[in-house]
Structure 1
Amino acid sequence: MLEVEQRLAAVKEAGLSLVEIEPAHFRHPDLDDHLAGILEELMFGRGMVVLRGLPADRYSAEDMAMMYWGIGTHFGIAVSQSAMGDVLGHVQDLTKPGEEEDARGYTSARELRLHTDLAQVAGLFCYRPAARGGVSVIASALAMHNQIAAEHPEYLPIYYRGFPYHRRGEQAPEAEAVTPHAVPVFSTLKGNTSVFYVREILQNGAEERGVPLTDEEVAALDYFDACARDNSYRLRLGQGDALFMNNRTTLHARTKFENGDGPDGERHLMRLWLDVPGKRPDVPEIQVYENQGGRSGIDHQVGQVRAGAKYRTMKAAE
């Protein structure tokens, strides 16, 4: 990854901040073709790619954030990950004893169940791994669709119809707390099948509306969770590894983790949510938030904070 280090040096010499870095700043003949091939694999192939060998052992977190961001510009446009406007998320345990269940997943050490994120592509860069745990879990949504069609085709209409989702208090002031439309679990547009699934806030939506899920819907969701586990595999990210996933064709999770002693023993990953214009179209109903310009993610809301405990109604899957 010498080319990435060279581009970092040029960016720093130019005095650019992280969010000022554009694709042109990380162009290099040897880098461009390689990353273009990775983007094709992400969007139309396996839906996940791991880049190894980024020099996290030799650079500060700030420098690695710039390298990681620069690579991400080859794949898409970074979008905000919470109402706080964070376009580069830091996946760390920021909780105090007893607060683990109160935080959004990427600010805690708890286990996370299989889900998708709110943008087309999610990236996770491992600056420092956990002492124990923190293993990534990835499931193929397309393999799941095939299994469901073979074993329980009666559930497919439920998934394609979808469910209203709670916006966890991170919506714009004039927006409704729950999506006015059903967000499909599976959807198809121009021959591309996509997935969106976050069971916790799906159930929050039903509770907020006062419309309980039917027994058949609960059975369909339970089967979806089981099917996701059946079609998943585990991946441990080491220092300097960057995982990119297509959120429309894969789901991901994380096992609970424990940090080691001192700051150097604390797990620290960096997260990107990326929109990839013009590559793989989505149905408009897949969007949970009504963001400016139609982008994904969660628009910055001045004075807002990240969603917290009252929007978590379920324990992580065992």
Structure 2
Amino acid sequence: MPTAIYTEPVTDTMAWTGADFTSKEDFAFDLSARNVVALESILAKTAHKDRDDITPEDARHPDLDDDLARLYRDVMFGKGLACVRGFPVEQHSIEELERIYWAFCTHLGYLVSNNSFGHRMVRVQEEILPGGVQPARGTKSRAELAMHNDAADILALLCVYPAAQGGESQFASGPAAHNRVLAERPDLLEVLYRGFPHHRRSEQPDDQPDVTPYDVPVFSQIDGRICINFTYSSILPAMHALGREFTPQEVEAVDLLRNILVEQQVEFRLESGEAAVANNFAMCHSRSDFVSSNDPKKARCFLRAWMEVPREDRRLPIGREYFHMENKDLRLGYDVVEGRDGTIARNDYKNVNAELADMFKAAQAKPKVKNT
């Protein structure tokens, strides 16, 4: 069931708006030369291991541990967003960089699977389907992505190569959005705390339904810590699949929140060697459309990792109804479904027909907010 509605303004450091920042310098976290040397030493000492077998213990280093613990605290309990700069992109192959990045990410939590195929780190890079069709899967498309949440406690996106044009990142604070709804339309909070069904895009095990058999709250809270879980491109197809119409009040609530998130976002461009690290259930994120370099070796490429943190640090309430997947032991990310062909995940969703794929794409478009 939904949590109690929080009716006081949130005043902590997580409740920021884009106007509070002048540039990404305001939330930058620079890796020191010692940090980079430590990461490269971990790369060398784990050369005999597969990337996914590098453990948190392997990644411990006296020149790294305290600094990344500070980063973790800021992401989980401070601003909730950091631009980590200084990854040695030019000095390493992408395979080596993935291993360095994996070691870095283990300091932030347990890396969970990004899909039902078991991919715990994915390359966000455009891939065109036959006939020049853009995939519905956002990690393989160049299209803009509307504000949404991912499926873990911490999201980390490392820029290997930026786009030639576009591809800016946007983040918006959930607590700050909650403050706006509370101030402007408190009557709509009940709708948002109740939530909506989510489409699982065929990532669930075959014996589970495509649409959640419960509504996933958009807002929830634990002792005033606001959680946001809002992905319109999962909500709209789910409502369609169920034959369920939005009520007028639900339309108002969704439209208001979508507009607030865009109005209050911070936007910045990640350059090569920079990573955005965010508290996923404290904020939504999006991306502008982009054009990649004509040089295929320099095509826009990001590395994405999702981390699960200890339950006592989580912002998302513990319970089946707060998350769109029914994973074993209420884990985040996606349970691996044995026997699935992992190559499918490289370009598009499994068993999603053209009508639903078009709906996913349409719902990923951002609302056009009028300048006031």
Counterpart position of 1:208: 241
Asked whether the 8 Å contact 2:282–2:315 carries over to 1, the reply is no
Alignment of 1:135-150 (within 5 A): 135-150=168-183
SS for the counterpart of 1:122 is: strand
Deviation at 1:129, TM superposition (A): 1.0
Cross-structure match for 2:41: 6
- Corresponding residue of 1:217: 250
Deviation at 1:262, TM superposition (A): 2.0
Aligned partner of 1:280 in structure 2 is 314
State whether structure 2 residue 96 is matched by structure 1 residue 63: yes
CA offset digits 1:65-97 (Å, max 9, x no partner): 001110110111111111222110110001146
How far is 1:293 from its partner? 2.6
| C-alpha distance in 2 between matches for 1:168 and 1:263 | 29
Match of 2:340 in 1: 303
| Equivalent residue number for residue 271 of structure 1 | 304
Quote how far apart the aligned CAs of 1:136 are.
0.4
- 216, 224, 245: which one pairs with 1:183? 216
* Percent identical residues: 35
Q: Provide, for residues 258-296 of structure 1, a one-character-per-residue CA deviation record: whole Å limited to 9, x for no partner.
A: 111222230110000111123125222221111123211
Query: Which position in structure 1 is the counterpart of 2:283?
Result: 250
For residues 96 and 248 of structure 2, what CA distance do their matches in structure 1 show?
A: 51
Report the 3-state secondary structure (helix = DSSP H, G, I; strand = E; otherwise coil) of the residue aligned with 1:41: helix
Matches for 1:108-257 after TM superposition, within 5 Å: 108-257=141-290
Q: Distance in 2 between matches of 1:147 and 1:219?
A: 14
Q: Alpha-carbon deviation of 1:312?
A: 4.4
Write the letter of the residue equivalent to 1:108.
S
Give SS of 1:23's match: coil
Query: Could you tell me how far 1:209 is from its partner in structure 2?
Result: 1.0
Q: Following TM superposition, by how much is the alpha carbon of 1:123 offset from its aligned partner in structure 2, in angstroms?
A: 0.6
Structure 1 counterpart SS, 2:63: helix
For 2:77 and 2:227, the matched residues in 1 are separated by 12
Q: Which runs of 4+ in 1 moved over 4 A?
A: none
Q: Distance in 1 between matches of 2:123 and 2:221?
A: 32
Relative to the length of structure 1, the TM-score reads 0.95
Q: Any idea what SS the aligned residue of 1:25 has?
A: coil
> Which amino acid is 1:32 matched to?
D
User: Could you tell which deviates more after superposition, 299-308 or 151-160?
Assistant: 299-308
Deviation, structure 1 residue 108: 0.8
Alignment partners' CA distance in 2, 1:298 and 1:107:
18
C-alpha deviation, 1:148, in angstroms: 1.0
Query: Given the alignment of the two structures, is residue 99 of structure 1 paired with residue 136 of structure 2, yes or no?
Result: no
Note the alpha carbon deviations across 1:192-213, whole angstroms, 9 max, x for none: 2101011011011111111111
Which consecutive residues of structure 1, in runs of 5 or more, have no partner in the other structure? none
Moved more, 70-79 or 81-90: 81-90
Whichever residue aligns with residue 323 of structure 2, its letter is Q
| Structure 2 counterparts to residues 11-50 of structure 1, below 5 A | 11-12=46-47, 15-50=48-83
Q: What is the CA–CA distance in structure 2 between the aligned matches of 1:213 and 1:159, rounded to whole Å?
A: 13
Change (3 A) 1:95 1:233: same
